[in-house]
Chain A
Amino acid sequence: MSKRIIVVDDDDGILDALEAMLDSAGYEVATSSDGEILEKLTKENLPDLILLDVLLSGKDGREICASLKNNEITNQVPIIMISAEPTAADGAKACRADDFIAKPFEMKELMEKVDQYTS
């Protein structure tokens, strides 16, 4: 059974690219532009990894990250935060994200991280 990854980004281009990348690497991918999908997570359908954009339109990825980490059900799911802002690393650490990657990144770079957290 393949690993499940949820990607949240308000940019369709990123969503498409990450979906294609992860799909070709053999992952099962679910995408969301607003992160609502993360609110409906249950014990039964927990993903193996969440890729979460810091800045979502109308929402703050860091808040979502923090609430997931505060939730007993979801707090075990690794979260990699993505941002166009390299300095957002600190913010990501503060909301207890497991890792951080700044746009633009090399595919290889992200895949290494993804593989690391899903193995």
Chain B
Amino acid sequence: MGVLIGFQLDTSIEDRLKKSYDIPKLKNVDNEQKQQGIITEIEKQTIEVDAVILGTQIKDPISIAQRLHFIDKNISVIILCTPENYHHMLDAVQFAPFLGEEVSCHLIENIHEISEKVKYAVANTQRRREYQDAITSMNVQIPGQNSIQLQTARYVDRLLDFAPVGIVLVDNNYKVLAWNKKAEQLFGKPERDVLGTSLLAFFSQIEQKRFIGFAASSRSSATSFKEIFKREKRNRDTQVLEVNATYLNHGTPNHPTLIIFEDITAKVAEEQKRRIAEENLARSEEQFRLMVEGARDFAIFMLTPDGKVMSWNSGAKDLLGYTENEVIGKDFSFLFTPEDIKKKKAKTEIEAAIKDGRAEDDNWTIKKDGSRFFATGVTTTVRDEKGDIIGLVKVFRDVTDRKALEDNLAYLAEASKILSSSLDYKETLSNIAKAAVPKIADWCAVELLNAGGKLEQVTVAHKDSAKVKWAKELRKVAPPDMNAHHGLPNVMRTGKSELYPVITDDLLVRIAKDKKHLKLLRSIGFTSAMIVPLCNEKKCIGGITFVNAETKRNYKQSDLAMAEELGNRASLALENAGLYKTSQDAVALRDNFISVASHELRTPVTSVKIFTQLLHQHSLQIGDEKAIKHLSKMDKQLNKLIELIYNLLNVSKIQAGRMEFAEKPFDIDASVKEIVSVLQEGSKHKIMIDGGTNKIVYGDEERIGQVVSNLISNAIKYSPKADKVVIHLSSDNNNVTVCIEDFGIGMAKEHLDRVFERFYRVFDTTDKTFPGLGIGLYISSEIVRRHHGKLWVESDTGIGSKFYFSLPLQRDKKPNGVQVL
């Protein structure tokens, strides 16, 4: 049992500790000299002290603690503090050198805490001391039989605590004999808690076995071992320790082992992170390589900044058909067409990429076999860490099909527009051929059967006009053989289009008429062609031929589908043009008929009129009242007939542009008055004149009179239930206006714009239809128009109509009085 010493303890504390707890050996020392004596005794090991309690009166408790620990770090030092110096003391303990673990500060009033600490200290110090003894008994060369050696050993002991590695001494059963500060940190337990316990307890069973295994083998061979062990910390984190075990005092039966632990968790984690990163990098590089290689549809080139090929992928190889040797190190301009090379496109592309970081390009690209495909892609720069350009990546793919589809659709749309633009089929077909070049074809020709049943070339288009001339010559020299089993004659015979995706020399040999023809055909350099028929309802009347030559493109089925669609549309247009011509001919025939008919009708009607009047005269002489009545009605009807004939003649004259005007200044008010007086005769409607223009107008009095007369006649005709027609005459500085107002059936809005059209009739389903040819208003409007005037109408169904015409007062006067319009 050890001893408990108090230095300058208050009596109250001393008493309470003695009373409250069973600590009989507490010896309080008040005198400083006595205190020194006790310290000396401890140093000399004449007494064994478990714990020293330092009272609040002691001036420098830290130095006493240091001194005590220097002698024996197993002694517990309990420093009592007042509330005033408590915190200061805590700091001092923490930072003072040479203080062992067993120093603690307590507030003097926490008597319970102090007692507990004391109890613990006594028990613990004893236990540790027992192990110390055990180590001694194990023949560990612990110097210390004399005080200098002992002191040196203590210094070493203290210094070990400052080592950056965990240093542990175990016996051959792995029981811990010593444990420095770093070991405490590594394993999370103070030395006092682990002394005498097994070091293996800190490791999992698997690691324990490993440890024992290594230990056994290295012990038998008397070597040290260095291994990595893992353990799980209390917070479940994995700790990685590098363990370096060395056997001391070989040859002794119970020799201890010095084990140095280094925590390499962070290092390992770092290492692992680096390794994973490296693996990822390697993997992504591999993936990238696979991706580049796998991008079969894309050609990918790595270029030097001046455009030499450094590497390429298999997609590029497949697409272009070159071998690697033919490409690597070569300038990438071999991809470009001669036209683009002339335009320095390759150079421009690199410059653009270097300037902007990327350059997009859509080009026709050349394969090894000389054929072309339309490529779309992008060239981007590749820079190193410093930002210097180390190369360019050019990626592109074959979009010929898509491009062809787009071009085909665009062409079809344009062609359709052309077809609907004119009914002159020769012009439209020629425009269609022109539009096909060069996007759809290098050559495009349209041929049609002429009136003589011979195939005639309507048009041939090529972007070079010299070649067009040459082709026309060729056509003359070698006209198509209508019995041929290929080409346009065959297409026309069968009605089926022909597609020649690739024109081989064999084919040329087959279709050539003779050697000269063959030579010519070869010189054109055909690569592909398609021919579609042009047919009407009955038979094929021609065809359109599309040919590719210098651009070396090949037609596909999809191109033929477009061409056939175009053929269909063109055929329809041809048919329409034919129909239009027929209808135009019919219109001309009708106009001509009207002209002739109206002319021819005049003579017999004149004759009939004369006879009627003669009979009328005769009846008057003999006083036959009935005959007089009938004959005057007959004469009236004849007048109507004459007017109709007259109007028909006018219409045909207007149509032919042969209506003549005899213009001079005339008094329009007087003119209107005269017409009214004539029409009033025999009309049940009262024709009233409202106002006056008071102007002299310039024009053909008779024609204007015809307009007035026509409008009044209409007003009467279309107001059968009304009893009047009103004529409003007015003028301003610029115009005279005549308005004929009726109170009749009126017209619906939809007719208002159309009543002035030739042969337009208002057909009303509800009202009865009025007789007429629908030409009176047409003639009137033409007359007014040619007088630079205006004719218009306002009307409401059931209320009536107001027809207006106005004539300008100022216009260029033709002095000779006759104006042919």
Cα A107 to Cα B606 in complex, Å, equals: 9
Contacts of B735 in A (CB 8 A): none
Contact of B606 (CB < 8 Å), options: A14, A87, A108: A14
Q: Is there an interface contact between A84 and B607, defined as CB atoms closer than 8 Å?
A: no
Contact of B611 (CB < 8 Å), options: A20, A84, A87, A108: A20
Which one of B19-27, B307-315, B597-605 is at the A interface?
B597-605
Shortest distance from the beta carbon of B599 to any chain A beta carbon, whole Å: 5
Contacts of A105 in B (CB 8 A): 606, 609
Q: Is there an interface contact between A106 and B660, defined as CB atoms closer than 8 Å?
A: no
Proximity bits, A19-30, B CB within 8 Å = 1, else 0: 011001000000
Shortest distance from the beta carbon of A20 to any chain B beta carbon, whole Å: 6
Contacts of B607 in A (CB 8 A): 11, 13-14, 16-17
Q: Is there an interface contact between A18 and B613, defined as CB atoms closer than 8 Å?
A: no
Closest residue of chain B to A89 (Cβ to Cβ) is: B662
Q: Is there an interface contact between B602 and A103, defined as CB atoms closer than 8 Å?
A: yes
Cα A106 to Cα B610 in complex, Å, equals: 7
> Is B614 at the interface (CB under 8 A from chain A)?
yes
Chain B binding surface SS class? helix
Q: How many A-B residue pairs have CB under 8 A?
A: 54
Q: Is there an interface contact between A24 and B618, defined as CB atoms closer than 8 Å?
A: yes
> Is A60 at the interface (CB under 8 A from chain B)?
no
> Is B642 at the interface (CB under 8 A from chain A)?
yes
Closest residue of chain B to A87 (Cβ to Cβ) is: B660
Tell me the A92-119 residues at the B interface (CB within 8 Å).
103-108
Shortest distance from the beta carbon of A25 to any chain B beta carbon, whole Å: 9
Shortest distance from the beta carbon of B779 to any chain A beta carbon, whole Å: 14
> Is A63 at the interface (CB under 8 A from chain B)?
no
Tell me the A1-40 residues at the B interface (CB within 8 Å).
11, 13-14, 16-18, 20-21, 24
Contact of A17 (CB < 8 Å), options: B599, B606, B645: B606
Proximity bits, B445-488, A CB within 8 Å = 1, else 0: 00000000000000000000000000000000000000000000
Q: Is there an interface contact between A14 and B613, defined as CB atoms closer than 8 Å?
A: no
Proximity bits, B582-616, A CB within 8 Å = 1, else 0: 00000000000000000100111111111101100
Shortest distance from the beta carbon of A92 to any chain B beta carbon, whole Å: 15
Contacts of B611 in A (CB 8 A): 17, 20
Proximity bits, B288-328, A CB within 8 Å = 1, else 0: 00000000000000000000000000000000000000000
Cα A24 to Cα B617 in complex, Å, equals: 10
Cα A85 to Cα B609 in complex, Å, equals: 17
Tell me the A35-86 residues at the B interface (CB within 8 Å).
84-85
A residues in contact (CB < 8 Å) with B: 11, 13-14, 16-18, 20-21, 24, 84-85, 87, 103-108
> Beyond A14-B603, A21-B610: 16 further Cβ-contacts under 8 Å?
A13-B604, A14-B606, A17-B606, A17-B610, A18-B610, A84-B599, A85-B599, A103-B602, A103-B603, A104-B605, A106-B609, A106-B613, A107-B609, A107-B610, A107-B614, A107-B617
**Which 5 pairs of residues, A with B, have the shortest CB-CB distance?**
A13-B607, A17-B610, A107-B613, A104-B606, A84-B602
> Can you list 7 A-B contacts with CB-CB less than 8 angstroms, sorted by A residue number?
A14-B603, A14-B607, A18-B610, A20-B611, A104-B606, A106-B609, A107-B609
